[in-house]
């Protein structure tokens, strides 16, 4: 337990500083959210119709930002070797790394998501649900993103490769979360989408570390 506690502290502080950490992710997020009215036009009803969807897609993109260095830095400087030389299974190590990533970027972004959606014209009544979706979705993004980050270890321009690997896997949470939000706004049943989002996040937490560990071992040997 002391090992894992030490690791989560290390991973969170490293992710906090990685590529500017949550501030850069939030800045990017705010940037994308401000771009939309510029491109679509400032008509309120038009923007309000897409506000939650746009906030949600921007969130998926912003969570890509700091994924690149999640494993790569440890791989390059030898820390990944030493993390392997431990009684802790590599799968658990990967799980903790993703949890650190989520704490440092996913959670701050989830705080920003309702703000962005409301700024674009979504009803403030949606805010709690947007926050909940962003928290759950952020877990899925961090754990799926970790797979991409581990798979692109050792590749040049690994960040770009990570994005290409990961974006298709971001599709289900974007659909489920966006669907739940749209249904809630329209007064329709929304719990189904939310349940699917939760299930996808749970599956990502369960299976993501297996894939990440396999990819890390492969990159090292």
Partner 1 sequence: MRAPKNLPKTLDDRLITQLSIRDAAVRRGGRLLFEGVYLELAAGEACALTGPNGSGKTSLLRAVAGLVRLEAGDVGFGGVDPADARGDLHLLGHADGLKASRTAREELTFWTRWGGGNDDALREAADTLELVPLLDLEVRRLSAGQRRRLAIARMLAAPRPLWLLDEPLSPLDARWRVAVGVLMQRHLDRGGLILAAVHDPLPAATRSLELVA
43 binds partner 1 (CB under 8 A): no
| Residue among 74 and 190 whose Cβ is closer to partner 1 | 74
Q: Alpha-carbon distance 48 to 62, whole Å?
A: 21
DSSP letter assigned to residue 125: G
DSSP 82-103: HHHSSSS-HHHHHHHHHHHHII
201 binds partner 1 (CB under 8 A): no
207 binds partner 1 (CB under 8 A): no
DSSP letter assigned to residue 112: H
Tell me how many residues contact partner 1 (CB under 8 A): 27
- Name the one range near partner 1 by CB under 8 A: 52-60, 81-89, 130-138, 194-202: 81-89
Task: Give the residue, chosen from 35, 43, 46, 77, that forms a contact with partner 1 under the rule CB under 8 A.
Answer: 77
78 binds partner 1 (CB under 8 A): yes
87 binds partner 1 (CB under 8 A): yes
Report 57-76 residues binding partner 1 (CB under 8 A): 73-74, 76
CB 133 within 8 A of CB 52: no
83 binds partner 1 (CB under 8 A): yes
99 binds partner 1 (CB under 8 A): no
Report 8-27 residues binding partner 1 (CB under 8 A): 9-10, 13-14, 17
84 binds partner 1 (CB under 8 A): yes
CB 212 within 8 A of CB 165: no
DSSP letter assigned to residue 123: -
Q: Is 133 helix (H, G, I), strand (E, B) or coil?
A: helix
Q: In the chain, which ranges are continuous DSSP H helix?
A: 2-17, 21-40, 44-62, 69-77, 79-84, 90-101, 107-119, 127-151, 158-186, 191-220
Residues that bind partner 1 (CB under 8 A): 2-3, 5-7, 9-10, 13-14, 17, 73-74, 76-88, 220-221
């Amino acid at each position: 337990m002391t090992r894992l506690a030490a690791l989560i502290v290390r991973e969170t502080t490293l992710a906090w500083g990685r590529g500017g950490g949550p501030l850069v992710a939030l800045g990017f997020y705010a940037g994308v959210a401000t771009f939309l009215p510029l491109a679509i036009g400032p008509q309120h009803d038009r923007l309000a119709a897409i506000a939650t969807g746009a906030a949600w897609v921007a969130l998926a993109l912003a969570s890509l930002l700091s994924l690149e260095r999640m494993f790569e830095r440890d791989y390059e400087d030898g820390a990944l070797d030493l993390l392997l030389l431990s009684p802790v299974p590599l799968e658990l190590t990967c799980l903790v790394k993703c949890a650190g990533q989520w704490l440092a970027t996913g959670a701050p972004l989830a705080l920003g998501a309702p703000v962005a959606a409301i700024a674009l014209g979504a009803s403030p009544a949606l805010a709690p649900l947007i926050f909940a979706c962003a928290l759950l979705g952020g877990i899925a993004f961090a754990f799926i993103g970790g797979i991409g980050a581990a798979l692109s270890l050792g590749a040049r321009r690994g960040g770009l490769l990570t994005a290409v690997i990961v974006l298709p896997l971001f599709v289900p949470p974007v659909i489920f979360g966006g669907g739940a939000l749209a249904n809630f706004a329209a007064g329709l049943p929304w719990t189904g989408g939310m349940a699917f989002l939760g299930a996808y996040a749970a599956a990502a937490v369960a299976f993501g570390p297996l894939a990440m560990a396999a990819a890390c071992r492969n990159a090292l040997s």
